[in-house]
Amino acid sequence: MHTIYSRVNNVSAFLSSCLMGLVLAVALTSALYQTYQSPPVGELVVNSVKVLPGKGRYMRKYGSRQQDFAFVNFNLTADLSPLFHWNTKQLFLYVSAEYTDQQGTANEVVIWDRIVRRKDDANIDSTFMNKYHLKDMSTTFRNVPPAHYTLKYNVMPYVGLLAWGEAARTSQPIPFPEPHQLS
């Protein structure tokens, strides 16, 4: 009953309980800090949207049908440094295009993303182009309503729950132009 193994077991159980209590306290204080924190403010301006025809990536599987691709050029200005505190491991930033297709289905397509690991890199002021293909399932952007573009973030803490938010949004929806050929 009072062997060395039972004493080590009791001490390790007590220490693990204390450690779990400490982790719970860190998670709760971090969640309270995030609820009373003001959201970051940014500006997202779409400079141009071009729609070009091309071959789909999976043309062997589905045949050689034409697919329209949209290329978005945008300016992004945001100060996300207030999101960094003692429990922030990194931020995941992404710009998404939100539009409704011809069938009435709401779409949200991520066109650009970045991982920010330091507070020094949290000030963004630059011009970007979409990293990922923006294409519609109907293979064309004709008669597709305009899209809103949004800068969103995800705060990844060391301990606790993930937090999502929106830092910038275009003031008006940006229409998709008619596709044109490259010269």
| Domain membership flag for residue 31 | no
- Residue 4, token pair as written in the block: 């060395």
79 has a pLDDT exceeding 80: yes
Confirm if 146 and 174 have CB atoms less than 8 A apart.
yes
CATH at 159: 2.60.40
Residue for token pair 């929806």: 173
Q: Is residue 175 part of a domain?
A: no
pTM: 0.79
| Residues 22-78: tens digit of each pLDDT | 888 887 887 777 666 777 889 999 999 998 887 755 555 555 667 888 899 999 999
Cβ neighbours of 108 (radius 10 Å): 12
Predicted local distance difference test score (pLDDT) of residue 57: 58
Inside any domain, residue 97? yes
**Total structural domains within the chain:** 1
pLDDT of residue 18: 93
Coil, helix or strand at residue 174? strand
Question: Quick check: is 120 in a domain?
Answer: yes
User: pLDDT tens digits for 105-141?
Assistant: 899 999 999 999 999 999 999 999 989 988 888 888 8
**Selected residue with higher pLDDT from 74 and 142:** 74
- Domain assignment present for residue 164? The answer is yes
Structural domain includes residue 78: yes
| Full domain range(s) for residue 81 | 37-169
Residue 100 pLDDT more than 60? yes
pLDDT at 40: 85
Q: Any idea which of 83-92, 107-116, 134-143, 163-172 has the lowest mean pLDDT?
A: 134-143
Instruction: Check if the beta carbon of residue 107 is closer than 8 Å to that of residue 70.
Output: no
Residue 43 lies in a domain: yes
Give dist(CA 116, CA 100) in Å, integer.
30
Q: What is the mean pLDDT of residues 152-175?
A: 89
19 part of a folded domain:
no
